[in-house]
């Protein structure tokens, strides 16, 4: 089986790096929208929006549902999980490491003051 959605945090980062895609993703915040509605008011053409939606979909950030001649795109609620987890983990790591070095530096400083 081949997976259509990736959702790895790096793919998500690359998908959200483009301002137009961020704007589209933003417009999905409060519910699914058809492609036309999403393109409406954007400074780019509708086909461009289709292409962006494809990238967002492959990153696992959105899902689509067909309804007649329209296709509704909505956010995939698990799409951000990996990225959020990665950032949390990274942050924890940095804080922990900072604490270690602060302790070490303090110890070194204390030792220096021993003379």
Whether 62 and 25 have beta carbons less than 8 Å apart is answered as yes
Q: Identify what 82 binds: its own copies, DNA, none; CB under 5 to 8 Å per kind.
A: none
As a whole number of angstroms, the distance between CA 74 and CA 81 comes to 16
- State whether residue 40 is helix, strand or coil: coil
Told to check if 52 binds DNA by CB under 7 A, we report: yes
Nearest to 33 by CA among 70, 7, 4, 69: 70
Per CB under 8 A, does 29 bind its own copies?
Answer: yes
Which residue in 6, 34, 58, 81 binds DNA (CB under 7 A)?
34
Specify the 3-state DSSP secondary structure of 72: strand
65 binds, among its own copies, DNA, none (CB under 5 to 8 A by kind): none
Residue 26 CB, shortest distance to DNA, in Å, is 14
Any contact of residue 95 with its own copies (CB under 8 A)?
A: yes
């Amino acid at each position: 089986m081949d997976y259509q959605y990736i959702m790895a945090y790096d793919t998500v980062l690359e998908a959200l790096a483009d301002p137009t895609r961020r704007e589209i993703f933003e417009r999905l915040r409060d519910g699914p929208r058809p492609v036309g509605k999403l393109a409406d008011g954007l400074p780019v053409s509708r086909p461009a929006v289709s292409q962006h939606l494809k990238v967002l979909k492959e990153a696992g950030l959105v899902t689509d549902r067909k309804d007649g001649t329209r296709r509704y795109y909505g956010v995939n609620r698990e799409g951000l999980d990996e990225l959020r987890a990665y950032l949390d983990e990274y942050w924890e790591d940095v804080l922990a490491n900072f604490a270690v070095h602060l302790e070490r530096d303090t110890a070194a400083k204390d030792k220096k003051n021993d003379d």
